[in-house]
Amino acid sequence: MPAEGYRHGMPDMAPALAQETLGGALAVAAGLPGRAGDALATAAREAFTGGMRGAAIAAAVLLLGAAGLAAAGLRRIRVRGEAENAGRADRVSPSGV
C-alpha cells in the first residue's frame, strides 16, 4: 500500500502526532476508520510496551551494578572492634578533651 493510501483523509499533523506519544497515537487511531485505527492503536501499544520493557531492564541492570559497587565498597570499611576501643575512656580527661 503506498504511503499516501493510508494517509488519505488524515490531518497533516496526524502521522507526526502518532509518532510522538502513545496518547497521540491513540488519539489519531480513534479518528481512523475501522481496521486502520485498530492496527495503529495495537502497534502503538506494542511499541510503548517494548520501549518500557527495554527501559526497565536497563534500569534493573544499572541498579544491580550500583548495589554491587556499594556492597564492594562497604566490605572495605574497617569497623573498630571493642578491643581497639578498650581503655579509651581512661585516656579522656574529665572535661571531655
Cα angle 9-15-16, degrees, rounded to a multiple of 5? 140
Domain ranges within the chain, ordered by starting residue: 3-77
CA 86 from chain center: how many Å? 49
Task: Output the pTM of the full model.
Answer: 0.55
Check pLDDT > 80 for residue 16.
no
**What does the mean pLDDT of the chain come to?**
79
DSSP string, 40-63: HHHHHHHHHHHHHHHHHHHHHHHH
CA distance 17 to 84: 68
8 A C-beta contact, residue 41 and residue 48? no
Cell readout for 35 is 481496521
pLDDT for the residue numbered 20? 76
From 49, 52, 44, 51, select the one nearest 25 (Cα to Cα).
44
